[in-house]
Amino acid sequence: MEESYPFHVVSVLRSSDPERTQSLRRTFARIVDPHEDAEYVRQWTSAIHHQISADVGNSLEGDPNSTSFNAFARSALNAGLVPTMMKIARQEWRGRNVPRARHISQYRALQGLCILMRVGNETERRDMLDDMLKEDVLSVCIQFMKHHLCVMRQLAVNALHSLCQVSLGKKVSSSTAAAIIESACLYVLQGPDHVVDQLLSPFTAWQGIMFSETEQRLIDVRVTRQTAPRYYAVVQDAAVQVVHSLLFTSPPRSSEFCYDIMKQRPQILDLLLDCAISDRPTCFPESGVTSVACESLTLLFRWPSHTVPGVASPIDKAFKTRDWKAMSQAMSVLTSRPNWAESLIEVWMRLEEEDVSAIKRKFSRQNEMDWDRVEGTEKQAYGKLIKNRGICRVSVLRLIATLTHAAASCGITNAQIESFLHVAYLGCQKGGKYLEDCKTEEEFINSCDYEQDVFRSSVAEYAGPDLPTEPIKSPVVIASQRVLGPTTLVRLLTVLAQRNAIDLIQTFRKPPTGLSSSTSLERIQQITHPVVIRRIIRLSHVRMAERMDRGRIRARDRSVPDETSFACAIFMSVAELAAALVALDEHTYGVYSAEVRGARKQLVIALGNASQMAYNIGHYKRALHFASDAVAAAENIPAEEGLDPNVGVKNKGRIAQANAALQRHRQL
């Protein structure tokens, strides 16, 4: 450190308290002055940044579970580190003759604060977040997203990503969240040209040192053209993770909050769909941009954790009067966007058309260059890619299935419903084994594309390994294609049946106006043919039975809370499919009653099991809702369903035990 910085800087940083705090206060008062010598400010911000980086690195290397700021960090914070660095970051420098030292100082100031937030206990890090919010850090980040220097845009993304790991999502208003989401999506869609151009320009190539520690490699034109897009792609990932983190909070944001985001900036939906269909970066094929964008879209239309789509709850008046109104209004915003349906279909069709084997070959070519090595093994990176594809698939199915519940109020046309049939039909495929049955990496990769589900039980899952995760009571869950595919297809058929349109399709002589080019008249006539519908219903019964067995296996392992929570999610997914079959039966006036028989029984049992799982993990409100729904579903159930009367007794007992538990907690 002595070789890089003047002696007086090093001596202050390495002194002890109270002298160090006093010296830092004097220094901070000087370097916030915009008239101060630019090089002097750069030396101090860079030295402090270096000290923080070294301390954090040593702390994490020596004790990854370090729970407090070290002595230097406490001295700097007591001396006013946060307001000082934020004042430097906020300074506006315009014109082409601004010394680069000014921008480097801003970069080091904000980045140093974000690095420091990687350590410290929960209280320290959240206090620091509050201090940075008071200093208007979010406005600074949004402003930097539009900066003419690519390194400042990168800084803004990485700073927001760091702040999100300290529960930023719970602290921002819907308007601020909307502004950040829009800025992050625009960054993702910019493309790497601005990075390449600036790193090649003799006037701005100095930014390279802040993109990578390997400075010498960046000054070579050939290498820069190859590496710069990858640096950009990695930051792209961070940008879309910011969007996800703002929407994935504990407790979950309300439906009204999500609706407010879309109402204020409806173009966010277009941008997220554009991200979801963006090209896979050749230099970074395992990029998660498309999958995280897809999952983020589902978070905007997230069902309450105590609600099974399609199941009418006798006790959930709040959902009917508040949450559902906001959800349907939010869906109306989506369906009012131009080309929304075609974009959603395109996400799926790009996956169908993608040459996965060609992508796999890219990993081998990457690993030939040590500077561009894929993190982890080639198989691990390829597995991540396949997993991301699976997340895209189930996210599209989840969105379509959700939209069917508001098809009338949102003005979704018959042609749009018919266009989705092909996607949902393809979604009924299953590939390989259940993921938990895979014994080898190869088996896992082969199955992941079709068997991947989403189960996020802690926030900060996109954080680095040095940051703690926060368990939550409302996991983000999207069922696998194995069950969600049939659910989505049955729901689409139900909407057509509600509109008395399902039989008319067989009489069409030409494609209906507005039908997607991704499908055809022959295709939709095939899918809606009674023979195929009966086959789909039979397949649904098979998938429900398989899924119930999987849920019971998970339920037996009570040693891990996530296993019980996952079992609850599995039973909920069965209940959703069963409810879809019941609705189809009702709206087709008994045409398929023989094939549907057994779905009502399965609905009651699945809801009861979900209630028990929720109770076992202390989610008593959810347990009460599921048990009440099960009892309601069993009322007037036909005798031919063969429902054991003891099931009803059990479910009424579950209502009693959930009410008793809720009463105990109210008294605490």
Percentage of residues in the chain with pLDDT exceeding 90?
Answer: 74
Domains identified in the chain, total number: 1
Q: Each residue of 165-176: pLDDT tens digit? A: 998 999 999 999
Q: How confident is the model at residue 8, as a pLDDT?
A: 86
Name which of 164, 161, 166 is nearest 126 in CA terms.
166
Which tokens in the block code for residue 533?
């519908």
Measured from the Cβ of residue 658, the count of other Cβ atoms closer than 10 Å reads 24
Mean pLDDT of the chain: 90
- Report helix, strand or coil for 471: strand
Beta partners for residue 456, in sequence order: 476
Of 142-156, 221-235, 398-412, which gets the smallest average pLDDT? 221-235
- Is residue 27 in a domain? yes
Residue 580 has pLDDT above 70, yes or no: yes
Largest Cα–Cα distance in the chain? 89
What are the φ/ψ torsions at residue 252 (nearest 5 degrees)? -65, 150
Does residue 91 form part of some domain? Answer: yes
pLDDT tens by residue, 260-312: 999 999 999 999 999 999 999 988 889 999 999 999 999 999 999 999 999 98
- How much is the pLDDT for 1? 41
Segment 516-533 shows an average pLDDT of 98
Q: Which tens digit of pLDDT belongs to each residue from 72-110?
A: 999 999 999 999 999 999 999 987 789 999 999 999 999
Range of the domain at 6: 1-135
Q: Is residue 614 part of a domain?
A: no
Q: What share of the chain is helix, strand, coil (3-state, %, to 5)?
A: 70, 0, 30
Q: According to the model, what pLDDT value does residue 364 have? A: 66
Single pTM value for the model: 0.93
- Cβ(270)–Cβ(342) below 8 Å: no
In a domain, 461, yes or no: no
pLDDT, residue 337, reads 98
Specify the higher pLDDT residue, 312 or 215. Answer: 312
What is the rounded distance in angstroms from the CA atom of residue 474 to the CA atom of residue 456? 9
Q: Does 363 map to a domain?
A: no
Cα–Cα dist 242/114, whole Å:
14
Structure tokens at 323: 């949450």
pLDDT tens digits, 403-451: 999 999 999 999 999 999 999 999 998 777 888 888 887 788 778 888 8
pLDDT in tens, 351-403: 999 988 888 777 766 655 544 444 556 777 888 899 999 999 999 999 999 99
Lookup result for tokens 């939709």: 524
